[in-house]
Every structure is written in structure tokens, then in C-alpha cells.
Amino acid sequence: MAFYDTLAEARRDLSNLEVKAADCGQLNIVVRTDGDMSDEALERVGKLYVGAAWALIHDRRVEEGWYNEKH
């Protein structure tokens, strides 16, 4: 799981995301601000979720411990 405020911030951290992705079955990349959900570079390393609604869903899942289990 990786949270970013903007798509540009996530893109700048691409090399770090590639390292994280190698350590898990699926890396969720959550961008809090609304924008284009299609980004080839980010989608190659993980599942991209963009916008306030997606961020809220993933924030709640983190709080509830949902990501502590395999799904």
C-alpha cells in the first residue's frame, strides 16, 4: 500500500514503488487528489486508485486492519 497526494508525487517515487511491488502480490497505489486513473508507468507496478473516494475507502481499510490479511 502506498499513498500519495498527487499523481506527480507517485510518479516521482516510481523506483521506490517498484521495490515495494517486488515484495508483495499486489501493490495498491492510492492518489488522494482526483485525476486520470490511467497511468501506464504506475499501472505496471501496481493497482492504481485515484481520487478522494478511493482514498477514503483505503484509509478505512487500513484503520480496520483489512490489509493485515491475505485476500
Report whether pLDDT(50) > 70: yes
Q: What is the pTM of this model?
A: 0.89
Collapsing DSSP to helix, strand or coil, 71 comes out as: coil
Burial of 49 (0-12, 13-18, 19+ CB in 10 A): middle
Confidence category of residue 15, pLDDT binned at 50, 70, 90? very high
- The whole-angstrom separation of Cα 14 and Cα 33 is 18
Confidence category of residue 71, pLDDT binned at 50, 70, 90? low
